[in-house]
Amino acid sequence: MTKQEIIESVYAKVGGFSKKEAQDIVEAIFETMKETLANGRKLKLSGFGNFVVRDKRKRPGLNPRTKEKIVLDARRVVRFRPSPVLKAMINGEKAPEGDE
């Protein structure tokens, strides 16, 4: 699903505002999410999952073309952990009681 498809879905499901306003809302949500993660903070969406920024240390690697040993720089990565509700929905199961 693309961002444009998300905008169309929000416009169709929520209504009460124009497509431009739906686009502004979706853009604002994504911008807030990006800023939160860029600041190293955890992003928890109840019933959906958690996005967490992790630090990876400098480590040895291998150039796949030349088989030369290289050092991979330290970096930050975003990890996503789905909620039990999302996992159950994906697997066609009933959501666990009391979980978000």
Q: Using one digit for the tens of pLDDT, what is the confidence trace for 24-68?
A: 999 999 999 999 999 999 999 999 999 999 999 999 999 999 999
**Segments in the chain forming alpha helices (H):** 3-14, 19-38, 84-90
Cα separation, 20 vs 12, in Å, equals 13
Asked if 100 and 83 count as a contact pair (C-beta separation under 8 A), the reply is yes
Q: What is the pLDDT of residue 93?
A: 84
Q: What is the C-alpha to C-alpha distance for residues 64 and 9, in angstroms, rounded to an integer?
A: 42
- Residue-level pLDDT at 84: 93
The pLDDT value recorded for residue 94 is: 80
Give me the residues paired with residue 44 across strands. 50
Residue 38 structure tokens: 């860029």
